[in-house]
Amino acid sequence: MYLATLPDIRVPIEDIMAEGDKVAVRWMAEGTHQGELLGIPPTGKRIQFSGISIYRLAEGKVAEVWEQIDMLSFMQRLGMVVIAGPRLLVRTLVRQAKRLRSRLPARRSR
């Protein structure tokens, strides 16, 4: 899936650690969004995301793999997910407060 989406993908290893029969690898992937992904047409954007892979070895071969990939960063860079920054959050809260205030009954002056 990633090779079709990011054909120029590069995955340099940031850290690698081993203990017993397990090897942990922390990596950072980068490539250009040139293929469709989950219905999103190619954007030409440079995409960067990271992950950690843990491998269990048995008899000189990979027996099991566990991976944790930062898909939120990946989807943010493609524009699939937008996380509100402080300004947008404040504007949204103010707008909501105005809506709520308009629903309250008018105050009587004394």
Q: Flag whether pLDDT at 80 surpasses 70.
A: yes
Domain boundaries, the chain: 2-83
| Architecture of domain 2-83 in this structure | Roll (3.10)
- Tokens of residue 54, six digits: 């843990």
Residue 10 near residue 27, CB atoms below 8 Å: no
Q: How far apart are CA 105 and CA 2, in angstroms?
A: 56
Mean pLDDT confidence for 61-73: 93
Per-residue pLDDT of 24-55, as tens digits, reads 999 999 999 998 887 888 989 998 999 999 99
For the beta carbon of residue 58, count every other beta carbon within 10 angstroms: 9
Q: Flag whether pLDDT at 57 surpasses 90.
A: yes
Beta bridge partners of 22: 19, 56
Helix or strand (DSSP H, E) at 41: none
